[in-house]
Structure 1
């Protein structure tokens, strides 16, 4: 389900800015789908029980959610009709809804997905300026673990010459081990860039990393998928350490875990 379109987190690498998504206004100008809750209720009434997820183009817990509470109201519907829930976020605002997440998890199932890109909070403020810093996100992961809500971490994007270091990858994995995450998703140590997204990213490189834009242009041109020169070494670290600590790192296994819905009788109260 997509409740909002656009985002105010300000992440410098965000693919959702890309022209292919045909957004005809500023990305920070949030579209609110005012009939989303009505549509969700109609769908829940007619569909078989399953995990309900939020779209990946917009973080469901943008600051506007504090006031509109569309996600919270959606969770109330999901709980009432006996569905499960998963989402991807970088925000600690999800803890506001911990009471509902616990109720859903007791009745069916919840999995929370959290993105981590850098272990350095100061760098995080540059890459993801308007969102909870990494250290706070790790606190959220730990709190969810204490409440028996499983978590998955997205280790991406890894930006060449910025956060593509063994120290960073090891530190993030240390955080994940400490927070007892179930799995870590990492396709490659790199980033994707395309028209719309690329221009914004380069503007921020000029602002925060002078000279790096020209290095990107020389080395990568207009490639869509850009990998770190240390991609293989960093992926080996990722695979070895996750396997060593029993953390899922296989795409199929993680997606099966995310969307598995328990086959048990669920009592629903329809209104």
Structure 2
């Protein structure tokens, strides 16, 4: 971990990244790709020590309230957040200025800040996004070794349901020949239905591989799934989009089950919902649960 004094904290689309790099250890992480030009080791987390101060300056000068997004590139609830609490401090700034938050994570550390997120949702709008990849706890510990398993993430979704905080689940990635099975997809969908998520984001059954993350992923295949790397190379070569042979069939299951359960499955609609800042806070909280 190392610290930097950042010059900015929000992207043009109001995305916030407090950290750069990650310590969750997910074997497939696209953020390892060399195209992102990270000048330090991926596990050597770059910390924007002045993140909260920058947020204060930025939100104080913003004329129009909006949703603030975080977690798309690097998880805001990685291990160092437990010590540094920079995400919590930024949430406090967001809450104080009446902005909304859409946070994406794999970590149950978010439970620490649930009361604060609930307060933001009561004033404006909060959306919690969790990533689910496999219902097999042992497999989860293999492909996502340094973060809570799916059971822990389901607990987060359940806590959000209890507090009436809207949730979205990212069903991705599905690693061909590993977790791209009907049984796995249906078990993950059962969690989503049980915890009453609003939307599911799934762009397809597969993953992306490019220079940087491909090499790391293949090294982990050699470590945990001997012989599978060679099958990937034979099947996909150096393709960027690594699509499962089960893609068509499993995507139909996801669409069908979402329609049956009233869960939004169209990515553009889910993003539209998450990006929309309410002009007036609805009297009935239930209205926040409608697309």
TM-score range, shorter chain: over 0.9
**Aligned counterpart for 1:28 among listed residues 26, 34, 43:** 43
Higher relative contact order (CA 8 A, sep 6+): 1
Q: Which runs of 4+ in 1 moved over 4 A?
A: none
CA–CA distance in structure 1, aligned partners of residues 262 and 115 of structure 2: 29
Query: Could you state the TM-score of these two structures normalised by the residue count of structure 2?
Result: 0.90
Match of 1:224 in 2: 240
* Superposition deviation, residue 264 in structure 1: 2.5
**Considering only aligned residues, what root-mean-square deviation do their CA atoms show, in Å?**
0.8
> What is the aligned counterpart of 1:174 among 184, 190, 196?
190
Q: How does 1:1-271 map to 2 (within 5 A)?
A: 1-47=16-62, 48-264=64-280
Give me the whole-angstrom Cα distance separating, in 2, the residues matched to 1:209 and 1:264.
Answer: 52
**Partner SS state of residue 129, structure 1:** coil
Question: Could you report, residue by residue, the CA deviation over 1:25-83 in whole angstroms, capped at 9, with x for unpaired residues?
Answer: 21000000122212111110111101111141110000100111000000100010000
| CA distance, structure 1, for counterparts of residue 119 and residue 103 of structure 2 | 16
Partner of 2:7: none
**Residues 71 and 105, structure 2, Cα contact 8 Å, conserved in 1:** no
Structure 1: which 5+ residue stretches go unaligned?
A: 266-271
Partner of 2:4: none
Gaps of 5+ in 2: 1-15, 282-291
- What do the CA deviations read for 1:229-260 (whole angstroms, capped 9, x no partner)? 01000001111001110000011110111111
Residue 10 of structure 1 and its aligned partner are, at CA, apart by: 0.1
